[in-house]
Amino acid sequence: MMHRFRQFWTNLLAPVAELLLRLGVTPDAVTLVGTLGVSAGALVFFPQGELWIGVLVITAFAFSDLIDGYMARSSGNSSRWGAFLDSTLDRIGDAAIFGGLVLYFAIRDDMLMACVALYCLVMGSVTSYARARAESLGMRAEVGIAARADRLVAVLVLTFFSDVLGLPILLDVVLWALAAASTVTVVQRMAVVRRQAMADPAL
């Protein structure tokens, strides 16, 4: 769903990326700073209950994911290392977001929602791993109702409004929904990979 908006934001941020290139900043540096910013926004502000501030900080640094890719393509420095670094640090950023929510609920003794947030963290990693592992075996597993971008946008938007509007139920609802959607996505990817493996035993 969110991929249709990706090009719009990439074009909008292109001048920033060009400026960074002229200043000698590397795409890898942008990737690293973006991950540190996202992690700090989640792990510093979420546990303190400053949810809306955390979301704004995370969102600001999340745009680095578009900027570094544009910089790599524009400068001709796209590489397998850059792609590996980007994907690996994305997992760290995702874990920080849900980890921050785990701490938020745990500090408030809401252990049920802390467990749901932890489940979302784990299943988010599993969905990404399932696709990566399938591709390493020569198969495809891009299916699923809960793509990474959709999961992150949903949790950040609802986290923001749950705090601003004083409606914590919004955060509870989105976490339960993401827990279910992530589970379905993992099952979908397993099913797709199994069909491909059964159709071609050589895989």
Q: Among 28, 68, 86, 90, which one carries the catalytic annotation?
A: 90
As a whole number of angstroms, the distance between CA 111 and CA 127 comes to: 24
| Residue 49 per-residue DSSP state | T
Residue 90 appears among annotated catalytic residues: yes
As a whole number of angstroms, the distance between CA 174 and CA 87 comes to: 24
SS (H, E, C) 77-113: CCCHHHHHHHHHHHHHHHHHHHHHHHHHHHHCCCHHH
Hey, CA dihedral for 108, 112, 114, 116, is it positive or negative? Answer: negative
Catalytic residues, by residue number, are: 90
